[in-house]
Chain A
Amino acid sequence: MYDYLWLIPFFPLVGFVINGLLGKKIRNEAIIGGIATLMIFLSFLVACGNFFTLLKDSEKVHQQVIASWMSIGNLQIDWGFLLDPLSALMIMVVTGVGTLIHLYSIGYMHGETGFYRFFAYLNLFCFSMLMLVLGNNALVMFVGWEGVGLCSYLLIGYYFDKKSAGDAAKKAFVVNRIGDFGFICGLLTLFWALGSKGVWTVNFVEIAENAHLLESGGVVVTVVTLAFFLGATGKSAQIPLFTWLPDAMEGPTPVSALIHAATMVTAGVYMIGRLNGLFAMAPDTMMTIAIVGAATALFAASIGLAQNDIKRVLAYSTVSQLGYMFMAMGVGAFSAGIFHLMTHAFFKACLFLGSGSVIHGMHHAYHKAHLHDDPQDMRNMGGLRKKMPITFITFLVSTIAISGLPFFSGFFSKDEILWWAFAGERGHWMLWLVGAIAAGMTAFYMFRLVFMTFFGEQKTDPRAKDHIPESGLTITLPLMVLGTLAAIGGFWGVPHVLGGIFGHMPNYLENFLAPVFEHTQVLNGIEIKPEMAHSKALEFGMMGVSVGIALVGILGAWFMYIKNPELPGRFVASFTGLWRAVYNKWYIDELYDAVFVNNCKRIGTFLWKGFDVRIVDGIVNGTAWVVKGVGSGLRYTQSGFLHNYAMAMVVGVVVIVGYYIFG
């Protein structure tokens, strides 16, 4: 089965080529969408084959080299793939969720002029993402890494006649490039550092085997991992590079679900998981990651509290949830981080697709009523649960999952992260506290969203009110599948302490991922603090606290948006300044513009008009003028008239001075 590994990225590439070249001629939406969906579905089948083969296999690491890519001196890079439990899990998520979202898009994008273009890009994205995940060396990963950035650019800018879409696309790519700067620096430093120990490689397996050559906790390892982490903050929208993700919501909603929630933005987490051996050797970096993750989780959640655009709430929620994953990686809870990556893919994809279903319905209604209201503004919604029952149920299930109520998927993964943050050797109670507060906020803003959208009275314009339909099967089917996964997906990774309740159910996921992470954890002493490891009461207690915090958040939302709907308005009125700061995302964009963007522009203009034109060309042209001036001056010296001398001098001075002033 492993021989067919290359087919997994290959199928979507074929889909991209077919639709990209011929899509315009095909025109038939069913065929275009069908080809694209089929291709990613085929990948899914091959991925399943590999996944289940690997599950039973005792040998957990398999590489497949297709061809040499670059070969010069001591630099040998292959086009090669790597299948191990980590990448196996990722390809399942990418192709599985990917297939559902392709299917969804057929219905959602119906009637769009660029229908073929959309599906071509979507396939190209899947190809790139699978290259990222499957690459057996850092450079092939980087191909995928930048490839998904490109697709993100193309899909955010899908409605390219809107200026905001063009701006958002460019911003996404440029901010990601700042991260890529880190990725490249990390990669090159690592290559050189290992090379100077005699191992010239960028291959992940070889890196893992030879990481011990570097000094644990040393400067080199810290610099390398910090640089890689900068790359991760770009791709995964962490502080300080998170600003592009909310703007990325300019793209069509399926894109937000696939790229900006379920897959691409988790690439940073995956990358840290892939290089776990290296990261674990740099405690300073790990601490930085944990702090940045926790801070992002809290910060983004706070912004999410005040947004009225349904997709923006979800966007900030994504940033916040990614923060959790980074916190997990930072405290060494690698499999918990990957676990949350997976459950998040389920419930967040479902939430985005659900919001898409709502927007689709609202848009339809406004279109029928010839209105131009904003179909994404939650203040125009309300009471939709009766109009869109399937969307509502799946959305509610996913909201419960993200809020961390017991036995839904998010509960298991989030709790394991919080437990490690609290009780892990590299954890700290403050990390736990920040995470717990953010969890409360998450429950609040998510239920606020649900209440504003699906409950209460319908605030849609009366003329459009009755035209809101439930979406068709291509849209609701993916919702149902993802909703189910969001509900039960967590049982794959039930923590040990809870396993007892379910008849000694083992933590399947942790066991599955153990070949990737266990060695690192043992080697670097990453474990639950011994004094806490056996205290079931403590673990249950912490669990109870975080569930309690979530319930408080939900009740708060209920109190403010169902019980006393006038309360939010009063709150805004009395805390205008605070509310405005939160609503405007703490003015981070404005800050970046003022500090970085404008200064770069200023320097660019200065160098061009000040240095190039005035100084360098000034010297060159000035020399020419002087030569000319001297020449004519010499001629006038022959005239013998004093006024000519004076005139020449005046003219010369005027010309030269004038040149420098106006030139």
Chain B
Amino acid sequence: MADYLLSLITFFPLMGMMILLFIPRDNEGLLKSFALGVTLVTFLISLPLAFDDVFAVSGGMQYREFHEWISIGSFFKMNYNIGIDGISLWLVMLTTFIMPIATLSTWKAVDKNVKGFMALLLLLETAMLGAFVSLDLFLFYIFWELMLIPMYFMIGIWGGKNRIYAAVKFFIFTAVGSLLMLVAIIYIYYYAASTGAPMEGFGVQEFYRLGIPSAAQHWLFLAFAFSFAIKVPMFPLHTWLPDAHTEAPTAGSVILAAILLKMGTYGYVRFAIPLFPEALQTYLPLLAFLSVFGIIYGSLVAMMQDDVKKLVAYSSVAHLGFVMLGIFALNMQGMAGGIIQMINHGVSTGALFLIVGFIYERRHTRQISEFGGLAHKMPIFATIFLIITFSSIGLPGTNGFVGEFLALVGAFESELRWYAVVATTGVIFAAVYMLWMFQRVMFGKVTNPENEKLKDLSVREIVIMLPLLLFVFWIGIYPNTFLSKMNPAIEQLLNQVKSKQVAVVEPVQPVIAQTLELK
């Protein structure tokens, strides 16, 4: 059983989808329940992974599965090569955890072509899980592209008014990036084959040891980095995100924010950084600058939004900036902070999109000015919204703080100290845009008569939020549960990167920085 556990988890949703296709399309209740059941079972069978203590002691790949798959002639070999370490473990868990919640959120929201939506949802889950467990670059690429299609249709068919524009924009941005990555993947394969180094198809772990020449590393890194930067999204490639989020149905937004964006950050951790450590050194200042700029930029733009969903979307740009800054610190705390922050963003921003969905379903508008005084009418909603708001702001005791703090500790210890100081101002802006929005939506008197008859959250809606709230506090108060299992993997990754890097070149620092440097 354990031999095939990872495959089972990955393809269980796909198998579910196959069966779902046989359910009559007008039996909407059954379709929804079935999809929910499949995602729940997927979550349950993935649970043993989280409780496996092997991750706390070994940083290597666990649950490996290897099968030869496609070979074209004797040259091209693509293998079914999967496994997880303490880093991808948590992203797999995040995926299986978020999917039932996202499915449950469609109960009232999706009313046309339920069958199609549910099928796409399950297909998407397999694609995402596949991408997180792939250890073969080509396999990864297949899953990566596979994700694009369901999401494109989810936005394009079930989206809001401007859905076509948003869907096309989403597609074009992402597709441009993936094409570059594909070229780079093929080049690496050719290069590896030409050196005669031992390789297992497109096995990424073998590629780690390659030692690609610097000149080639540069453009390969740029191709990967560009592709992932679009997905993260990093400034200035982020403009597809607000449109995609705003137009996507609630479940789509939740999945997009909570999981799909993590593909970009995960891509850096798993591929771009360890494959091209030398090139990374050159572009590190630029990437760190873009991360920090994204924090400030996303916050300032979020502040001025009049649409709640767009505000949350722009806040994602800021949050992901912290993730990237932590990762680029290239040390234990920074990397752990980045990964924790990935999970946090999934939990908190996912929750925020659900919250926006709740009021959208009631009022069919997301304009902040349409609301006000909701705390009177919906006290339970107000409480939950408040907790999530402060989690997003990064109040200590909630998950947001732990992630941001670790990322900043890491950045402070690395050469990115001055970037970290600027990034820290993000904690001010986060409070500004979130609290201003919260005030305008929840506080004050009910001025709009439409809001008079609003009902508080239903039991289903509370059930959706409870697991998220649990993790807000769990990660906030006892992050060691997660940290302990990610430590060995991070350590191994960093050793891998450091061993390949040439003597560290001190990036140019401002004069004050040099004077502050300890003698």
Using a CB–CB distance below 8 Å, which chain A residues touch chain B?
24, 67-75, 139, 142-143, 145-147, 150, 153, 157, 160-163, 165-167, 169-170, 173-174, 177-178, 180-181, 184-185, 188-189, 191-193, 195-197, 215, 219-220, 223, 600-601, 603-605, 607-608, 611-613, 616-617, 620
Determine whether B515 belongs to the interface, using a CB cutoff of 8 Å to chain A. yes
CB of A213, distance to nearest CB on chain B (Å): 10
Determine whether B427 belongs to the interface, using a CB cutoff of 8 Å to chain A. yes
* Contact indicator A166/B518 (Cβ below 8 Å): no
CB of B37, distance to nearest CB on chain A (Å): 31
* Contact indicator B300/A600 (Cβ below 8 Å): yes
Determine whether B409 belongs to the interface, using a CB cutoff of 8 Å to chain A. yes
Partner pick for A177 among B413, B428, B443, B477, CB 8 A cutoff: B428
Q: Which residues of A contact B402 (CB under 8 A)?
A: 70
* Contact indicator A161/B373 (Cβ below 8 Å): yes
Q: Which residues of B contact A620 (CB under 8 A)?
A: 169, 172-173, 239
Q: Which residues of A contact B333 (CB under 8 A)?
A: 72-73, 75
* Contact indicator A184/B427 (Cβ below 8 Å): yes
Partner pick for B332 among A72, A147, A607, CB 8 A cutoff: A72
A611 to B236, CA, bound (A): 9
Main secondary structure of the interface of B (DSSP, over half): helix
A180 to B431, CA, bound (A): 11
Of B19-27, B252-260, B434-442, the one with at least 4 CB within 8 A of chain A: B434-442
* Contact indicator A73/B331 (Cβ below 8 Å): yes
Determine whether B390 belongs to the interface, using a CB cutoff of 8 Å to chain A. yes
Q: Which residues of B contact A142 (CB under 8 A)?
A: 396
8 closest A-B pairs by beta carbon, nearest first, are: A73-B332, A604-B300, A166-B443, A604-B304, A143-B396, A188-B412, A160-B443, A608-B301
Q: Mark B293-306, 1 if CB is under 8 A from A, else 0.
A: 00001001111110
CB of A64, distance to nearest CB on chain B (Å): 17
CB of A119, distance to nearest CB on chain B (Å): 16
CB of B384, distance to nearest CB on chain A (Å): 13
Q: Which residues of B contact A605 (CB under 8 A)?
A: 304
Partner pick for B300 among A68, A192, A607, A617, CB 8 A cutoff: A607
A223 to B418, CA, bound (A): 13
* Contact indicator B431/A68 (Cβ below 8 Å): no
* Contact indicator B479/A69 (Cβ below 8 Å): yes
Q: Which residues of A contact B401 (CB under 8 A)?
A: 146
* Contact indicator B480/A160 (Cβ below 8 Å): no
A153 to B436, CA, bound (A): 12
- Give the nearest-CB partner of B336 in chain A: A72
Using a CB–CB distance below 8 Å, which chain B residues touch chain A?
169, 172-173, 236, 239, 242, 297, 300-305, 331-333, 336, 373, 375-376, 379, 390, 395-397, 401-402, 405-406, 408-409, 412-413, 417, 420-421, 424-425, 427-428, 431-432, 435-436, 439, 442-445, 477-480, 483-484, 487, 515-516, 518-519
- Give the nearest-CB partner of A624 in chain B: B172
Q: Which residues of B contact A611 (CB under 8 A)?
A: 236
Q: Which residues of B contact A162 (CB under 8 A)?
A: 444
Q: Which residues of A contact B435 (CB under 8 A)?
A: 153, 169-170, 173-174
Asked whether A601 and B304 contact (CB < 8 A) given A143-B397, A161-B444, A189-B412, the answer is: yes
Q: Which residue among B297, B396, B515 has the maximum number of chain A CB atoms within 10 Å of its CB?
A: B396
Q: Can you report 28 residue pairs joining A to B where beta carbons are below 8 Å apart?
A: A68-B480, A69-B477, A69-B480, A70-B480, A73-B333, A73-B336, A73-B487, A146-B397, A146-B401, A147-B396, A160-B443, A161-B373, A161-B376, A161-B445, A169-B435, A177-B427, A177-B431, A180-B428, A188-B408, A188-B412, A195-B413, A215-B519, A220-B518, A600-B300, A600-B303, A608-B304, A612-B301, A613-B239
Q: Which residues of B contact A157 (CB under 8 A)?
A: 443
CB of B395, distance to nearest CB on chain A (Å): 5
CB of B89, distance to nearest CB on chain A (Å): 16
A613 to B432, CA, bound (A): 23
Q: Which residue among B302, B417, B428 has the maximum number of chain A CB atoms within 10 Å of its CB?
A: B428
Q: Which residues of A contact B417 (CB under 8 A)?
A: 192
A605 to B239, CA, bound (A): 15
* 14 further A-B pairs in the complex, CB-CB below 8 A; given A73-B487, A605-B304: A69-B478, A71-B484, A143-B397, A147-B397, A150-B395, A161-B373, A161-B445, A173-B431, A177-B427, A178-B428, A191-B409, A215-B519, A607-B300, A620-B239
